[in-house]
Amino acid sequence: MGARGIAVLGSTGSIGRTTLEVVSAFPDRFKVVALTAHRSADVLLEQARRHRPKLAVLVDGELEPPRLLKGTRVATGWDAVLEAASHPDVEIVVNALVGAAGLEPTLRALAAGKRLALANKESLVVGGPLVMRALKENAGELIPVDSEHSAVFQCLAGASLESVRRLVLTASGGPFRDRDPMDLAGVTPDEALRHPTWNMGAKITVDSATLVNKALEVVEAHYLFGIAYEQVDVVIHPQSIVHSLVEFRDGSVLAQLGRPTMALPVLYALTYPERLPFDAPSLDLAQVGTLSFEPVPPGRFPAFELGREAALRGGTAPAVFNAASEGAVAAFLAERLAFNEIPEVIRDVMGGHAVEDVTDLEVVRRADAWAREAARTCVQQRSGKTKRLA
């Protein structure tokens, strides 16, 4: 069997870089065919020089002609990302894009019959019905890359949905899990980006601090595994060793454990159903010593509760929740919004939205655009109030 062609969408981000490290460990198994980046031209160029893809895409910007690579076609713009997702020489698409923009490439990859290694949870959050329809109508397959959903996927191992009592997703609780909620107004972006166990991108790290990320993962689990929201629980697990658990109707529980590295779920998604030998540090439970779990404290993570509410409302509500969160987090990282105002912006935006059924991509785009504009307005209004009070 020859090397399988890989497209890495979002290759310059955290998951994208990890994917390329994994692929480099198996040169006889994988060949990088396409890479895409948003703005990080220098990193993309370095990756292209090393991996020699047939296609390198920079969405926003240009690579100067002298820097172009022999044998690599360089393209710009969003259409080129969609081309990468459906490239005829690609067998596996790793969607490591951040945010709702990942939905369209997800649909394109599935329509083209690719194996989709999905790290972009927002694809399912904002367009779950569309993704599941694309899976049903085409020859593509979807393997989750999120550590929690990879864990559930492995624990289920072909078990029927009827045999499952509930899924339990674990959350580290983020850097502020032990801080007094009244003490979070002055949290800085630097503080929020110091995750206690995982090394991730800025957006997802802040989402871990607010537990928005876990709310998105609840929606993701609902669609991936066809399970009711009432059967998806979340617990705080500070050590980030147990990635998820599945409780079966006979009372038995299976859990997937591992050190907090994304390399393992990436490798599993690329090689499933095989497990290849990989130079990863062994998990020494005696050294870890303690694995602790606790419930999510009611009222402690209001953004998480809003995400649960959006999930139950269904339709475009999760897309609006996600877009409002993205807008609020961007404002926080730009120091235009206080950390404890993130859930307030989300709540305000959700409160003004009339939910629609997700029937096509245009419905999602419309809801997403509306929510982003509503979030911008909320941030501006709060910024104005802060200035008047100063």
> d(Cα 101, Cα 83) in Å, to the nearest integer?
15
Task: Answer yes or no: is 71 within a domain.
Answer: yes
> d(Cα 87, Cα 280) in Å, to the nearest integer?
31
- 3-state SS assignment for residue 226: coil
Task: Answer yes or no: is 11 within a domain.
Answer: yes
Q: Are 365 and 127 in contact (CB under 8 A)?
A: no
- 3-state SS assignment for residue 87: coil
What per-residue confidence (pLDDT) applies to 32? 99
DSSP state of 3: P
CA 150 to chain CA mean position, Å: 12
Residues 23 and 100 in one domain: yes
| Arithmetic mean of pLDDT, 49-72 | 85
Task: Answer yes or no: is 154 within a domain.
Answer: no
Residues 135 and 9 in one domain: yes
Residues 77 and 128 in one domain: yes
**4-9 β-sheet, strand order:** 73-76, 55-58, 30-37, 4-9, 92-95, 115-118, 141-144
Q: At 245, which helix (H) or strand (E)?
A: strand 242-248
What per-residue confidence (pLDDT) applies to 65? 58
Residues 205 and 348 in one domain: yes
| Arithmetic mean of pLDDT, 72-82 | 96
- 3-state SS assignment for residue 304: helix
Query: What is the full DSSP assignment across 137-199?
Result: HSS-EEEE-SHHHHHHHHHHTT--GGGEEEEEEEE---TTTTS-GGG-TT--HHHHT--SS--
DSSP state of 296: P
> Which tokens sit at 287?
């050294």
The number of helix segments (H) and strand segments (E) in the chain equals: 15, 12
Task: Answer yes or no: is 215 within a domain.
Answer: no
Tens-place pLDDT, residues 310-333: 999 999 999 999 999 999 999 999
Tens-place pLDDT, residues 260-315: 999 999 999 999 999 999 998 899 999 999 999 999 999 899 999 999 999 999 99
Q: What contacts 288, CB < 8 A, 6 or more positions away?
A: 239, 241
Handedness of CA 347, 338, 169, 151 (dihedral sign): positive
What's the domain range around 60? 4-144
Tens-place pLDDT, residues 5-38: 999 999 999 999 999 999 999 999 999 999 999 9
What per-residue confidence (pLDDT) applies to 390? 40
pLDDT at residue 171 above 70?
yes
Q: What contacts 53, CB < 8 A, 6 or more positions away?
A: 32, 33, 34, 35, 72
DSSP state of 72: -
The position carrying tokens 């166990």 is 197
What per-residue confidence (pLDDT) applies to 199? 57
Residues 108 and 188 in one domain: no
Tens-place pLDDT, residues 210-260: 999 999 999 999 999 999 999 999 999 999 999 999 999 999 999 999 999
User: Which CATH number belongs to the domain containing residue 336 in this structure?
Assistant: 1.10.1740.10
Tens-place pLDDT, residues 176-185: 887 777 777 8
DSSP state of 341: G
> Considering its fold, how many domains does the chain have in total?
2
Residues 134 and 187 in one domain: no
User: Which CATH number belongs to the domain containing residue 123 in this structure?
Assistant: 3.40.50.720
**Bridge-based pairing state of the strands 92-95 and 115-118:** parallel
Residue after which a domain boundary falls, among 125, 144, 163: 144
Task: Answer yes or no: is 150 within a domain.
Answer: no
Residues 65 and 201 in one domain: no
| Arithmetic mean of pLDDT, 144-153 | 98
What per-residue confidence (pLDDT) applies to 87? 99
> Which tokens sit at 298?
């009611």
> d(Cα 109, Cα 87) in Å, to the nearest integer?
9
> Which tokens sit at 356?
């629609």
Residues 201 and 350 in one domain: yes
Residues 70 and 192 in one domain: no
Task: Answer yes or no: is 243 within a domain.
Answer: no
Residues 198 and 305 in one domain: yes
pTM equals 0.94
What per-residue confidence (pLDDT) applies to 388? 41
> d(Cα 95, Cα 112) in Å, to the nearest integer?
14
Residues 49 and 183 in one domain: no
> Which tokens sit at 321?
């929740």
Angle (nearest 5°) at CA 97 between 91 and 100 = 115
Residues 99 and 182 in one domain: no
Task: Answer yes or no: is 293 within a domain.
Answer: no
Task: Answer yes or no: is 202 within a domain.
Answer: yes
Q: How far is CA 97 from CA 7, 117, 225, in A?
A: 12, 11, 22
